[in-house]
Amino acid sequence: MGEVSREIQPMTPCIFCNIVNGSAPSSKVYEDEICLAFMDIQPVNPGHILVVPKVHFRDLADLPAQIGAHIFQIAQRIALCMPNTDVKNEGIDFFLAHGEAAGQEVFHVHLHVIPRYKSDGFGFTFGLNYKNLPERHELDAIAVQIKQQLEK
């Protein structure tokens, strides 16, 4: 189990670890040996769910790929259940923040499953440059760098 040995326990108790071990309350949606899904305490919209690995992984850098794949699979199942519930949803967003600059506030990997509907008021805000499409050579330059890294 080399992958799991990457787990590093945080110095202070992690709220999601406490939810997993039952010492903090949660409204559970799904549980198996690898992950837990529960209602977000401050939902963007009603039905907002978090899917977390049971083992503490700080962010994507620590998360074993097969656990990430499992979390995605469970989130997909949850998303596809949503139309059969009373939750208002015309669509679903998945969101995972990796790092503080990306909006990560709880440093225990979690995948948000967010029911969406038109006029719900939620959305990304775009920077001033968003409307200026980059030149092809600029896209290519970044693509080459990432491709090189993936090939390592």
Burial of 144 (0-12, 13-18, 19+ CB in 10 A): exposed
Structure tokens at 134: 């980059």
Report phi then psi at 3, rounded to 5. -60, -45
Give the active site residue among 48, 110, 112, 137. 110
Q: Which is nearer to Zn ion, 16 or 38 (CB)?
A: 16
Asked if residue 16 binds Zn ion (CB under 5 A), the reply is yes
Closest C-alpha to 77, from 111, 104, 44: 111
Binding site for ligand 5GP (CB under 6 A): 15, 26, 38-42, 50, 97, 103-106
Asked if residue 14 binds Zn ion (CB under 5 A), the reply is yes
Residues 85, 88, 93, 95: what is their CA dihedral angle, to the nearest 10 degrees?
A: -80
Amino acid at 50: L
Q: Are 124 and 105 in contact (CB under 8 A)?
A: no
Q: Is 110 a catalytic residue?
A: yes
**40 contact, one of ligand 5GP, Zn ion, none, CB 5-8 Å limit per kind:** ligand 5GP
Instruction: Please choose, out of 79-87, 105-113, 129-137, 140-148, the segment that lies near Zn ion by the rule CB under 5 A.
Output: 105-113
C-alpha distance across the termini of the chain, in Å: 24
x/- mask, Zn ion, residues 23-62, rule CB under 5 A, reads ---------------------------------x------
Asked if residue 108 binds Zn ion (CB under 5 A), the reply is yes
Which residues does the annotation mark as catalytic? Answer: 110
Q: Where along the sequence are the contacts to Zn ion (CB under 5 A)?
A: 14, 16-17, 56, 108
